[in-house]
Amino acid sequence: MYHSEIIGCGMYVPEKVVTNHDLSQMMDTTHDWIVQRSGIEERRWVDAQTSTTDLALKACEEAIKNAGIDKKDIDCLLFATISPDHDFPGNACFLQPKLGLTEIPAIDVRQQCSGFIYGMSMADAFIKCGQYKTILLVGAEVHSKGLNKTTAGRDVAVLFGDGAGAVVIRRAESGSSKILSTHLFAEGMHAKELWAAAPGSGLGSDERINHQHIEAGLQYPSMNGKKVFANAVRRMCECLNLALETNHLKLEDIDLFLFHQANLRINQMMAQELKIPEEKVFNTIMKYGNTTAATIPIGMSEAVKAGKLKKGTLVASAAFGSGFTWASSIYRW
């Protein structure tokens, strides 16, 4: 059986910085209120002309450069996102020509905040079975165009940012650098605890979206914050422990923890419950907010630049998001 390894990563975030103080001019909130509840101090938002695939393109180009490969070596493209450029076709199809690629499979992964690890699992499986050799996996989001930026949408709007992160995953010919395991879960009975109802075919209407839906604000995401928080801590701890058990590892064997960046308090609670040393957890949410499918690969790129992630580092990741979906992975850099 083949093994797979991550050979390069890249990221891109928009230039526009939106601080908590900026948000306080749009809605009834304060810098301290946002930091206390989420740890977020600022985030990046795109301008009117920029799309999700524009961000993805920049991240992918950096990942390809850092991997030291020719983009023609890529034989599969996986794109994790919940904020597509258009309703259909999938974003991977729009990204493919921007990258100058043709004919290779272009697949969207719609698993929200867990999308990147779901995509990593798919890439690992494709490579292990010998179907593909070099896979480009990107997570990218433009949330700012879909938020209710008034006091009514405050609880969700303050959390999300725009950004993209990408990795190149390749068949490992030799050595110990590889994806050890991935673990995927979902519990759809909680789907409406964090969701956007419209547009959709399940609204009891002969239109996917109409004026009544818009007036009711159904196009904006809504969230049961307390339920999401409690489930995120529990499920991420569970799947992380499973990953350790599967690989016969202990927490102290892990060099670096790259968790999904939904809320700094969630990651702090996980570290507290599992007794993970603070210096082993790498967080980026303070600067970028929640970029859903992009948070983990953005974290990888930032950790590389900070000297925290280097060849031989044993990494554990876990994510939780809408669906509910959750996932974990252990991999050696």
Residue 1: per-residue pLDDT:
77
Alpha-carbon gap, residue 142 to 129, rounded angstroms? 33
Residue 262 · residue 112 · CB < 8 Å? no
Kindly write down the DSSP assignment for every residue of 168-218, as one continuous string: EEEEE-SSS-SEEEEEEEE-GGGGGGEE---S-S-SSSSSSS-HHHHHTTT
Contacts of 52 (CB under 8 A, 6+ apart): 81, 83, 84, 85, 91, 140, 141, 142, 164
Q: Is 267 considered catalytic here?
A: no
- Give the pLDDT of residue 176: 66
pLDDT the model gives residue 139: 98
Report the CATH architecture of 179-332.
3-Layer(aba) Sandwich (3.40)
Say which of 91, 260, 263, 283 is annotated catalytic.
260
pLDDT at site 33:
96
Q: For residue 245, name the pLDDT band (cuts at 50, 70, 90).
A: very high
Residue range(s) occupied by CATH 3.40.47.10 in the chain: 3-172, 179-332
Q: 50-95 pLDDT, tens per residue?
A: 999 999 999 999 999 999 999 999 999 999 999 999 999 999 999 9
φ/ψ of residue 30, rounded to 5: -140, 160
Crossing angle of helices 52-67 and 91-98, rounded to 10°: 60
pLDDT at 224: 96
Q: Measured between alpha carbons, how far is 330 from 315 in angstroms, rounded to an integer? A: 6
Active site residue 290: yes
Q: What phi and psi values does residue 71 have, to the nearest 5 degrees? A: -60, -20
- Prior bond of 14 cis (ω within 30°): no
* Sign of the four-CA dihedral 145, 146, 150, 151: negative
Question: Is residue 231 annotated as a catalytic residue, yes or no?
Answer: no
Q: Are strands 256-259 and 314-321 parallel, antiparallel or unpaired?
A: parallel
Is a pLDDT exceeding 70 seen at residue 248? yes
The answer to whether residue 140 scores a pLDDT higher than 90 is: yes
Q: Report the predicted TM-score, pTM, of the whole model to 2 decimal places.
A: 0.96
Where does 3-172 sit in CATH, by number? 3.40.47.10
52-61 in b/e burial notation, b at 16+ Cβ within 10 A?
A: bbbbbbbbbb
Q: Which of 113, 183, 213, 237 is catalytic?
A: 113
Instruction: Write phi, then psi, for 281 (nearest 5 degrees).
Output: -100, 120
- Residue 259, classed as helix, strand or coil, is strand
The mean pLDDT of 198-210, rounded to a whole number, is 95
Tell me how long the chain is: 333
Q: 293 is written with which tokens?
A: 């499918």
The residues with which 320 forms a beta bridge, in sequence order, are: 326
What are the pLDDT digits (tens) for 7-25?
Answer: 999 999 999 999 999 999 9
